[in-house]
Amino acid sequence: MRALLVVNPAATTTSARTRDVLIHALASEMKLDAITTEYRGHARDLARQAAERNDVDLVVALGGDGTVNEVVNGLLHHGPDPDRLPRVAVVPGGSTNVFARALGLPNDAVEATGALLDALRRGSERTVGLGIAGGGAPGTADETVPSRWFTFCAGLGFDAGVIGRVEQQRERGKRSTHALYIRQVLRHFLDDPHRRTGSITMERPGESPVKNLVLSIVCNTSPWTYLGNRPVYATPRASFDTGLDLLGLSRLSTAAVTRYGTQLLTSSPERGPRGKHAVSLHDLTEFTLHSKVPLPLQVDGDHLGLRKSVTFTGVHRALRVIV
C-alpha cells in the first residue's frame, strides 16, 4: 500500500517528537510519503495531486479539522468517486477534532494511530456523505463563488462570526482553546448588530421559506462540536448516512441565548435545542440561505468571509474513510 501523510506542523496537540513517532509507526506498515504543509491550502494541493496521480491508496491527515477539510477538498476537486479515489484516514492533532471523533476515533494522536493501523489490518472502512457550500442562487452576486466541501458542519451568521473572531485572535498569537471560543461568543453577542432582527431566509424546493433567522447551523453529522470532552448536539439526528440537517434560531436576545445555550450544553443524542424560536430540519438534499445583509460564512470551522447567498447540498456516499 502506498500512502501520503499530510502533516500540519502547527497542529495544536502534537509535538514534533510525537509526529516523528507517528510517522515511524505508519511507515513500518506501508510505503509512506510524509509531507509537512508550508502554507494555507497546501494540504488541499497535496491531496489533489495524490488523487490525480492514481498511484496513492490512502491519504492520512495529521492535524485538526482544518487540515482534514483541505485534504477532502483536494481529493474531491474533480467530484466524488469513492471507488477510484484514495481512502482517507485521520490522526487528530487539533484542539477539537470533530470529524475524527464523530467517526468514533480516539482523540489522542498516538491512540488514533494505533486504531488506524488496526483498521487497515482488518480492512475496516466506511463510505460517508459530505456537504457542499456552493455559490448562491442564480442571479445573485454569490452565484459564481467556488464551492467548498465540508465534513461535519457549516454556518451562515452568528456562529461563523464567532469563528471569524477566533481566527483574528489566533493571528495575534492566541492559542485555540475552548475558553477562547467562549469569550468570543460573548463578545460577538454584545457586538453583533443583526442578532435581534433575523436577516436570513431558508428556501428549499417545494416548501414554504423559513424567514427571519439570526443563526443557521448546517450539520452533516452529530455531535456538532465538543467543549472539552462534552459533545454538543445542535441537530441530534444528523448523520454521515443521511442528507444535511439545519438548526435555525430566529431570536438571540439575552433570554433566548440563555435558554438555547443551556439546551446546547445539556443536549444529548436524543434531544437538542427546541422552542418557538428554534427551527430544526432533518435529511435535506438541497437548500439555499439568503441574507438581506452580508453575513460571515464558515465551513468546518474555517471562516470564508461574507456572503448574502449560499446553496447547501448533501452528497451521499462521497468519500471512503478508514475507521
- CATH classification of the domain holding 24: 3.40.50.10330
CA-CA distance, 60 to 6, in Å (whole number)?
Answer: 6
- Mean per-residue pLDDT pooled into runs of 10, the chain (323 residues): 94 88 93 96 98 94 96 97 96 94 95 95 97 83 85 94 84 76 79 75 95 95 92 97 97 88 95 95 97 94 94 97 97
**Domain membership flag for residue 322:** no
Alpha helices in 132-289 (DSSP H): 158-171, 178-191, 254-265
281 shares its domain with 136: yes
**Domain membership flag for residue 269:** yes
Tell me what pLDDT residue 237 has.
97
**Domain membership flag for residue 230:** yes
Q: Which residue has the cell 427571519?
A: 212
287 shares its domain with 175: yes
Q: Provide the CATH number for the domain around residue 263.
A: 2.60.200.40
Exposed e or buried b for every residue in 127-160, given b needs 16+ CB within 10 A?
bbbbbbbbbbbeebebeebeebbbbbbbbbbbbb
**Closest by Cα among 179, 187, 201, 186 to 261:** 186
**Final residue in a domain of this structure, among 61, 91, 123:** 123
Dihedral of CA atoms 278, 280, 286, 291 in degrees, nearest 10, equals: 10
160 shares its domain with 185: yes
275 CA to centre of own chain: 26
Q: Is 165 exposed, middle or buried (0-12, 13-18, 19+ CB in 10 A)?
A: buried
Tell me what pLDDT residue 254 has.
85
CA-CA distance, 268 to 271, in Å (whole number)?
Answer: 5
**Domain membership flag for residue 229:** yes
Tell me what pLDDT residue 196 has.
66
**Domain membership flag for residue 78:** yes
CA-CA distance, 162 to 297, in Å (whole number)?
Answer: 10
**Domain membership flag for residue 223:** yes
208 shares its domain with 90: no
138 shares its domain with 112: no
**Closest by Cα among 288, 285, 286 to 242:** 285
**Final residue in a domain of this structure, among 63, 97, 123:** 123
Q: Is 6 exposed, middle or buried (0-12, 13-18, 19+ CB in 10 A)?
A: buried
145 shares its domain with 276: yes
**Closest by Cα among 72, 73, 75, 66 to 94:** 66
227 shares its domain with 260: yes
93 shares its domain with 211: no
**Final residue in a domain of this structure, among 75, 95, 123:** 123
CA-CA distance, 313 to 131, in Å (whole number)?
Answer: 6
Full domain range(s) for residue 215: 131-317
Pairing between strand 210-213 and 230-232?
A: unpaired
**Domain membership flag for residue 323:** no
160 shares its domain with 272: yes
49 shares its domain with 187: no
* Total tally of structural domains belonging to the chain: 2
114 shares its domain with 135: no
**Domain membership flag for residue 11:** yes
151 shares its domain with 59: no
